[in-house]
C-alpha cells in the first residue's frame, strides 16, 4: 500500500510505501502522483516500513523524483529511510546516485 498525503501546511507531499509494488501498482501510482504534481512544492519519500524493495519500486520512485525535479519540485528521502535505502541497495547492487 502507498499513501500520498499533504503536510499540514499543504505544500509538502509525503509518499509512504508500506508494501512493495507490482508493475501494475507502480504504473498506477506514478500516474496518480504525476496528476497531482502541481499541488506540491516538495515531496518526501519514506520506505521505513518495507523489508525489501524491488527494482521496479525503486525505478518508479526514481522516475517520480526525476519528474518532480524537472518541475522544480524537491524530492527527498525521509532521513530515516536513507539508512534503510542504503541497506536495500547493498542487496540489489544499485548505486544510490542512480536513484537521485
Report the alpha-carbon angle 46-80-18, nearest 5: 30
Q: What is the pLDDT of residues 38-62, one digit of tens each?
A: 778 888 888 777 777 777 788 888 8
User: Residue 38's pLDDT is what?
Assistant: 77
What is the rounded distance in angstroms from the CA atom of residue 48 to the CA atom of residue 90?
16
| Owner of C-alpha cell 520512485 | 61
pLDDT < 70 positions in the chain:
1-7, 9-10, 79-100
What is the rounded distance in angstroms from the CA atom of residue 42 to the CA atom of residue 74?
5
Mean pLDDT over the full length of the chain: 75
- CATH of region 2-99: 3.30.750.24
Amino acid at each position: 500500500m502507498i499513501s500520498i498525503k499533504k503536510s499540514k501546511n499543504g505544500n509538502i507531499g509525503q509518499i509512504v510505501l508500506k508494501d512493495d509494488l507490482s508493475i501494475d501498482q507502480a504504473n498506477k501510482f506514478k500516474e496518480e502522483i504525476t496528476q497531482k504534481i502541481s499541488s506540491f512544492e516538495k515531496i518526501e519519500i519514506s520506505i521505513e516500513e518495507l523489508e525489501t524493495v524491488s527494482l521496479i519500486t525503486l525505478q518508479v520512485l526514481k522516475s517520480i523524483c526525476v519528474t518532480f525535479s524537472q518541475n522544480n519540485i524537491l524530492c527527498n528521502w525521509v532521513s530515516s529511510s536513507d539508512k534503510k535505502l542504503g541497506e536495500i541497495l547493498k542487496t540489489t547492487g544499485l548505486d544510490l546516485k542512480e536513484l537521485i
